[in-house]
Structure 1
Amino acid sequence: MTDASFSARTSRSPLAHDAEAAADVARAFADLGPEAAGLLAATAGCSPFLKGLMGREGDWLREALAGAPEAALEAVLAAPARAEGAEALGEALRLAKRRVALLTALCDLGGVWPLEMVTGALTRLADLSVDLAIRVLVAEEIRRGKLPGAVPGDEVTGAGMVALAMGKMGAGELNYSSDIDLVCLFDETRYGDQAGEARASFIRVTRKMAAMLSDLTAGGYVFRTDLRLRPDAAVTPVCLSMAAAESYYESVGRTWERAAYIKARPCGGDLAAGERFLRALTPFVWRKHLDFAAIQDAHDMRLRIREHRQLNRPLTVEGHNMKLGQGGIREIEFFTQTRQLIAGGRDPDLRDRTTVGGLAALAAKGWIPAEVAGELTELYRAHREVEHRLQMVGDAQTHDMPVTAEGVARIAAFCGQDEAMFRAGLLDRLARTDRLTEGFFAPGETEALPELSDSARRIVDGWSHYPALRSERAQAIFRRLRPALLKRLMRAANPDEALVALDGFLAGLPAGVQLFSLFEANPALIDLIVDIAGTSPALARHLARNAGVLDGVIGGSFFSAWPGVRVLAEAMAAAMAAEPDYEKKLGVVRRVMKEWHFRVGVHHLRGLVDAFQAAKEYADLAEAVIAALWPVVCAEFARKHGPLPGRGAVVIGMGSLGAARLNAGSDLDLIVIYDAQGIETSDGARPLATRPYYARLTQAFVTALTAQMPEGRLYEVDMRLRPSGRQGPVATSIQSFTSYQESEAWTWEHLALTRARVLAGQGELAAEVEAFRRALLPEKGRGSKVRQDVAEMRARLQAAKPARGAWEAKNGPGRLMDIELMAQLAALLSGSPARGVERQLEAGRKGGILSDSDASMLLDAYRVLWRLQAGTRLITDEVLEPERLGEGARAFLLRETGEAGAEALSARLDLVTGLAAGVIAAHVGDGG
């Protein structure tokens, strides 16, 4: 706030349209000095309404303009609170309205205040008026004994009643002659079985408040009040319970109501209860998935408004509606709010109530170009200034330009311009707004379909019967989308094959409106879908079941650097912390995990990462899930049965998870170890003995990972590597674990321990487990029967899991499991704590167990086999049959393995697996 006087801060002025009216005011206010008197005179020459206010409030105006206008505003806003009783308050508010109207108009016209201060001052008066009216009228109800249980003093918080400011009032953007949109609610929980009686009282308060503010008296009016934005306004009372409102929005709320609540804000009465209601409404307003279908809803709404108001006419100055017409204010508001609805569910930073703030947030997050946000902001400000001058002429709630040349000339003068310049500038701004917003809203024309073969035509014709295309709305969007989809398919390596894969994707979609709207708004996604469908039918099927993962492509940093375990775990933990109950936490972690899992697959498919980087990222993701989810499961279990006895427990990743190398279809090998420190029973509402406590906690954790929820499951879990396998308890005490490993465990269990890695749980216990592992392995590697045990184990594995097909990467002599077994043996014999295959083979080489050539041959085989295995699991979860592979999938596997053709890859596989099998047989036997 500045202390400078009004006159010292004026920077512009209207041009007097009515010279006689201007001269009258110039004489009346000559004592104010040339700057202020000139501004008042020019204003009066354009606005009969403001001229009348100057005459009525002249003495006050002289005093107000002598100092800083901000101080004058504060004094005006402070006065109504001193009024006693409803009648006195009504008149005090009317006086305040006249003075605020005059002051804000002059500060606007003189360039003293920017748009936000002008609309902010009007909104502050509206907030004050609503709050004081509720207080006074609720106090009357309390005095009359009409509010059950309420006592004097409760009126300060409206006794549980709140008015929500909607639209421009909610955003602090009231225009000069705005009505105010309110939704009035009451907190029924304060009144129990007397809520019906309380509702009747609050209905009276609401009606009296609307009359107090809206009725025209000798003092004027305060604000025209509109209560029609409440739920189902045609049949509901003017004030209803929060429970009833919440039930309505959850069951039948529409997109336009969601858009309205972007700006909603408690403005009078029980503000805390109003904030609680808005928080409860968050899932209705802000959808968890990107909501591109809102674009079509907004477009339909625009067309209905234009049609209803007969605004579909050529762009001209005369009679143009600055709010609803082509290129008008509402276009910019819809553009902003619709984009906010699309992405605001995932990014709270986009939930700005103001139009200008919303545009800035969208630009900052990359949803719209910064230059578009800047231009629309400039256009919005200019449109609002014209709107204000239209309303200042006669204090009319109008947005229409005058229908006569004379009227247009008056508005031009009010804007400080000659008529020709004003007309040209206005038409240019309207056209620019229309150009920037129309392409976003208006669906494109339906193109003709490309030429299709008979078989392709039959597939395409069958799409209309799929669940995703049941609704007319989905069909309408898809008709526009289908030509582009098919044209891109024609560019695939094998169009017919890609079409069949796409057909499978569409058949698996449970619904289509959201996804088709997403494609229509983001055509680049069509290329991605065609690429996936033509290369990886398995990934396409996954996508059909989890279409929400595409949100991450549009709304996240999909192509940025991999964030690593810590950042992923923190993001998951934060997402779960934001959800109120346990099931929702499990749902949200599934959504986050699936988006990242899909990202890894797409990056691998498109060659942005290789098979080894993809393997690390899949493993990072699984570790992050475990690290974030374990404390959530523990907290939920502790809530029922008390805190974890003793030092708690740790979750240990075994197998490929422990080695930090997973593929797209990997399950998780886990064991849980705990230390109860002698505590026999938990201390909670439903205490459990220690052993069943940790067993049930482990089962709860496995369920959290594996349960099939609407968002799918996280992972399959295998716990057979725990002590005693399937027969052993699912959770093992540290004492039992160490004793078992030292005296009872088989060699294969020591081999498994070479890859064990603590992923979550109590830090001290985790360090103890790792120290034990490092001490145990060298001791067990010296056993006389280790090689013989491994030979027998190898034979059993090859008998149970023979190679299936020429391109089998995992099972069989010289293949992945065989090489991994040899690597684990090398680590055990050398006493190395290394977990990954490469480091274990290197430990074997350094320890003299493997020669340089043996290690090199095993490593060469492992690398090509892992690339093949990782690529295979991305393409299919079935046995890989090279002769039945599609062209896209075959090309992907050849690219991954670096071979020119299928025969070359087959020959290389024969060579490297034969050499590897020979090396392994030389060290442990031939597996026979």
Structure 2
Amino acid sequence: MTFASRLTRQPIPHDADAGAEAARAFADLGPDLAGLLAGTAGCSPYLNGLMTREEAWLRAALAVAPEAAAEAELAALAPVVLADLPGALRQAKRRLALLTALADLGGVWPLETVTGTLTRLADTAVDLAMKALVGEEIRRGKLPGQGPDDVAAAGGMVALAMGKMGAAELNYSSDIDLICLFDETRYPGEEQDARAAFIRVTRKMAAMLSDMTGEGYVFRTDLRLRPDASVTPVCLSMAAAETYYESVGRTWERAAYIKARPCGGDLAAGDRFLKVLTPFVWRRHLDFAAIQDTYDMRLRIRDHKGLAGPVAIEGHNMKLGIGGIREIEFFTQTRQLIAGGRDPSLRDRTTVGGLAALAAKGWVPEATAAELTDLYRAHREVEHRLQMVQDAQTHLMPATPEGVDRIARFCGEGDTARFRDALRGRIDRVAELTEGFFAPGEAEAGPELTPRMAEIVEGWRAYPAMRSQRAVQIFRRLRPQLLRRLMRAANPEEALVALDGFLAGLPAGVQLFSLFEANPQLVDLIVDIAGTAPALARHLARNSSVLDAVIGGAFFAPWPGTATLAADLAAKLAETADYEKKLDVARVWRREWHFRIGVHHLRGLIDAFEAGKQYADLAEAVLAAIWTPVAAEFARKHGPMPGRGAVVVGMGSLGAGRLSAGSDLDLIVICDAQGVEASEGPRPLASRAYYARLTQALVTALTAPMAAGRLYEVDMRLRPSGRQGPVATALAAFADYQQTEAWTWEHLALTRARPVAGNMDLGAEVEALRRDLLAAKGQGARVIPDVAGMRARLAAAKPGGGWEAKAGPGHIMDIELLAQTAALRAANPARRLEAQLRAGVRSGFLSREDEGALLAAYRLLWRLQAGTRLLSETVLDPDTLGEGGRAFILRECGAADMAELAAMLDRLTAAAAAVIDGHLPVEAAA
């Protein structure tokens, strides 16, 4: 489509004479184009001059689609030689400035196409200038080791486009912000000579683009966003820049790199540099402290520019003033900094795209994002009109009513009063939508406290989290919210003591206090945890980063299941090459998911049985994902696994798919070297030693205390021959042992065995062997006497009873023992207790009444066990259990008070013990 066919609007001439003259000059183009050109000439002396100077080119450009005209102008620059490049670039700038202005004023192009076209010109200019100048340095022999073929990659030099250029959002008279770097690895031992050449290139390039000549200028070029610009050269090595950002990089520099992209020279090297810088820009934790940094920066800008005070249309700064463009950009970028480290989908360089991404993930309400997008586009159009008048790099509304009248006409509005009202409304609305996010409120008065509570609160001043003045300032605003919510707890003083333990354990405060201030729902959660599970609160103080997950977008989404969890962790492990870092990544990831399960259970979103399943899913996912890097790291040293490899088998509660918050993992490893005697690698090992040491490597990966803690404690005593047997067992030896040497208790253990990681084809054979063994061993005459004897020994070693859910007559271990016996006797492969009991009923070993009594006791006991392990690591003690914890346990167990719960336990466990006594009598053990 031609330019004229796409016109939707036009400006109104402010200077009637200039407009009339342009209308006459271009009357032959038709009334629509003539009207557009007349309105433009009557509002902008600068564009009027360009129309006269480039009239012949303009007539041709307006006869075709504007995209084709722009492409032709950019393509014409490619073959230009260095000597002619400054003039050619200035001509292209004049023409594209005129074309984009008319496409903007006529509504032919949306904002993004206007700014995108200006940015493409800037990219082209930087790239051509840089490569031409680097080529000259190479020709003169000033770049060590570089030849003509290296010009295409600018000898390893790259320009990073920052700010609006990086986001393809250049305004009409924008300068361009560049950071120039070079890849020092191309110049081993000769870095200083290379740097000197690249500094010359940078200075000449900036002059070529910026200098005003009779032909005009291309782009004003600003190099001050580079690291420590007051003392560093205009072009730095990538290593020097990386060192700076890692050591002293600031929040505003992180925000600047949201929009950064390579725009000229060695684009691949630029991409590598930005990837290296990812941890600096995008923090792994939710960085709410960035809000305060941005708020302080906004105030400094306003004070420096004299922009504080009431808004007046005359002289208002559309970029930096209250309700201006920068407010929307800061609003968007700060939220991206907060959450983009955890969610790469939020890392859009553009303001409009960033708002859309934030809305899609729930960080900004969709209505707010849509409204800010419209306001942003409207503000940018006014900004462009201000700059088009005289090609001035300005964001200030005119200082006189006549000047405002000109801008109103330039925007196509003939009623200046209406223009003023609409503009003022947009400014006020931007301020309204953004100010509340940045401006911290004043500290409110807190609730009245008892003397003991007041003494505790006073002691907070001395905690490590309050070391910095910034932390103290944030916490002063936060404290009244904390205390008000505490006063709603079942026992406020008790909850305050628990919260005190949480605060005392915090190593630092700024990040966490900022997180709380920006997300009041987390305050409720912390108070809930402190008032219910003080031990969990103390753990949380040492691992507060898990709170990021609560507001990270998926904390309350449906449970994803083992396969999705394993794939997610595997993807995260693949992002780092370092083995030790992989183990830390796994610990942080597991800790967040483990915390999620606990919170869901504590708040009643899931019950004890769903929590048990989720803990088991999580453990299985960790094993499945961690096995790959453990095996790969071991293979790197000792070669691939001999034969078919190995399978990790979950035993006990893991095999049954039901863990509590504090469960360790019962594992065995079964391997099959297929007769291969040794591995083939840098340091080969005999097959038996290989699998034994690989198993130890897995155990170490799970249990080693690292910066992020442990993954799990591991128990391997269920392997053949227990502690005396090899930690990895060959498949044939395992089968032979189970057939000829294993005790009845080892066959009972097989009833819950389940392959969870490693070679799952081998796991299928282990499962087939398990089923055959259950069928072969379950009917032996010694099964019942052996189990009865085992029960007697367990009772003597762990008498349990009372509030101890696991040990004792008719308690969990006792019921599990009978359920496993039922599965073994029935040769049934069921692993879960409920299914094992049902198998016992079907085989006639148990009656339905037996099943009912056992299940009633087990369900209550499991709820008690799961709830207790969430609150503490010890046996439930009602006398020391806080009111919040007591309420949680009673809710879980369905009792009105602790006396009723005790009576229920006595009654149901006695009934279960009677059933078990009937099937595993003491005399049978004799």
Same fold, TM exceeding 0.5? yes
Partner of 1:838: 834
State percent identity of aligned pairs: 72
Residue 164 of structure 1 and its aligned partner are, at CA, apart by 0.3
**What is aligned with 2:398?**
402
Does 2:760 correspond to 1:763?
yes
The alpha-carbon deviation at position 221 of structure 1 amounts to 0.6
2:343 aligned partner: 347
Alpha-carbon separation, structure 2, partners of 1:146 and 1:285: 35
The residue that corresponds to 2:275 in the other structure is: 279
Listed as ranges, the matches of 1:752-791 within 5 Å are 752-791=749-788
2:116 is matched with which residue: 110, 114, 120? 120
**Residue 827 (structure 2) pairs with residue 798 (structure 1):** no
- Between stretches 231-240 and 623-632, larger displacement belongs to 623-632
Does the 8 Å CA contact 2:405/2:416 hold for their aligned counterparts? yes
Q: Distance in 2 between matches of 1:67 and 1:752?
A: 81
Alpha-carbon distance between aligned partners in 2 of 1:819 and 1:51, rounded to the nearest angstrom: 92
Residues 572-625 of structure 1, C-alpha deviations (whole Å, 9 max, x = no match): 111212223222222222222222111111111111111111111111111111
Matched, 1:105 2:101: yes
Matches of 1:583 and 1:780 in 2, distance apart? 44
Task: Give how far 1:697 is off.
Answer: 0.9
Residue 916 of structure 1 pairs with residue 882 of structure 2 = no
How far, CA to CA, are the matches of 2:576 and 2:535 in structure 1? Answer: 31
**CA RMSD for the aligned pairs?**
1.3
One-letter identity of the residue aligned with 1:722: R
Correspondence for 2:502 among 505, 522, 531: 505
Contact 2:137 2:143 in 1 (8 A): yes
TM-score (norm 1): 0.98
Q: Could you report, residue by residue, the CA deviation over 1:251-310 in whole angstroms, capped at 9, with x for unpaired residues?
A: 111111111111001000000000010111111111111111111111111111111111
Q: Match for residue 866 of structure 1?
A: 862
What is the aligned partner in structure 2 of residue 556 from structure 1? 553
- Cα deviation, 1:374-414, whole Å, max 9, x if unaligned, reads 10000000000000010011111000111111111111111
Deviation, structure 1 residue 830: 2.1
| Residue in structure 2 matching 1:623, options 617, 620, 623 | 620
Return the match for 1:228 from 224, 227, 231.
Answer: 224
- How much has 1:554 moved relative to structure 2? 0.6
Amino acid at match of 1:223: F
Return 5+ residue gaps in structure 2 as ranges.
Answer: none
Q: Secondary structure at the match of 1:80?
A: coil
Residues 85-120 of structure 1: per-residue CA shift (max 9 Å, x gap)? 2x3101110111111111111111111111111101
* Aligned AA (1:358): G
C-alpha distance after superposition, 1:472-528 (max 9, x if no partner)? 111111111110010000000000111111111111122221111111111111111
Q: Distance in 2 between matches of 1:577 and 1:475?
A: 39
Give 1:228-267 correspondences, 5 Å limit: 228-267=224-263
Residue of structure 1 aligned with 2:24, choices 27, 39, 54 = 27
The one-letter amino acid paired with 1:692 is A
CA distance in 2, matches of 1:458, 1:570: 49
Partner residue in 2 for 1:476: 473
Q: How do 1:892-903 and structure 2 match up within 5 A?
A: 892-903=888-899
Matched residue, 1:809: 805
Listed as ranges, the matches of 1:563-602 within 5 Å are: 563-602=560-599
Q: How far off is 1:22 after superposition?
A: 1.4
Once the two structures are superposed, what CA deviation does each residue of 1:48-95 show, in whole Å capped at 9, x if it has no partner? 11111111111111111122221111121122223222x310111011
Displacement after TM superposition at 1:918 (Å): 2.3
Cα deviation code 1:774-813 (max 9, x no counterpart): 1111222222222222222222222222327x31111112
Match of 1:53 in 2: 50
Cα deviation for residue 855 of structure 1 reads 2.3
The aligned counterpart of 1:335 is: 331
Q: 1:38 offset after TM fit, Å?
A: 1.7
How far apart in 1 are the matches of 2:840 and 2:62? 90
The 2-side partners of 1:533 and 1:461 are apart by 18
TM alignment of 1:524-563, pairs within 5 A: 524-563=521-560
Q: Which amino acid aligns with 1:172?
A: A
Q: Tell me the amino acid that sits aligned with residue 359 of structure 1.
A: L
- CA distance in structure 2 between the aligned counterparts of 1:817 and 1:327, rounded to whole angstroms: 66
Structure 2 residue corresponding to 1:490, chosen from 472, 483, 487: 487
The answer to whether residue 374 in structure 2 is matched with residue 381 in structure 1 is no
- The yes-or-no answer on 1:728 pairing with 2:725 is yes
**Offset from partner CA, 1:186-222 (integer Å, 9 cap, x none):** 0000011101110110000001100110111111111
Residue identity matched to 2:765: E
SS at match of 1:758: strand
Deviations 1:626-647 (A, max 9, x none): 1111122112221222111111
In structure 1, the residue matched to 2:152 is: 156
Rounded Cα–Cα distance in structure 2 between residues aligned with 1:753 and 1:444? 61
Q: Is the 8 A contact 2:118 2:170 kept in 1?
A: yes
1:191 aligns with 2:218: no
Q: Which residue of 1 aligns with 2:304?
A: 308
Given candidates 814, 819, 825, the residue that maps to 1:829 is 825
Per the alignment, residue 357 of structure 1 pairs with 353
Q: Name which of structure 1's ranges 490-499 and 519-528 shifts more when overlaid on structure 2.
A: 519-528
The amino acid of 1:566's aligned partner reads A
8 Å CA contact 2:597–2:614 kept in 1: the answer is yes
For residues 853-874 of structure 1, what are the alpha-carbon distances to aligned partners after superposition, in whole Å with 9 as ceiling and x for unaligned? Answer: 2222122111111110011001
TM-score by length of 2: 0.98
1:422 pairs, out of 404, 419, 428, with: 419
**Displacement, 1:754?**
1.0
1:701-740 pair list within 5 angstroms = 701-740=698-737
Q: Aligned pairs, how many?
A: 923
Q: SS of the counterpart of 1:446?
A: coil
1:805-833 CA-to-partner distances (Å, cap 9, x unmatched) read: x3111111211111111111222222221
1:610 pairs with one of 604, 607, 612: 607
Between the aligned partners of 2:553 and 2:387, the Cα distance in structure 1 is 43
User: What amino acid maps onto 1:908 in structure 2?
Assistant: M
For 1:652, what is the secondary structure of its paired residue?
strand
- Is 2:748–2:824's contact at 8 Å kept on the other side of the alignment? yes
Cα deviation, 1:118-145, whole Å, max 9, x if unaligned, reads 1011001100000001111001101111
Q: Do the aligned partners of 2:311 and 2:322 also contact (CA within 8 Å) in 1?
A: yes
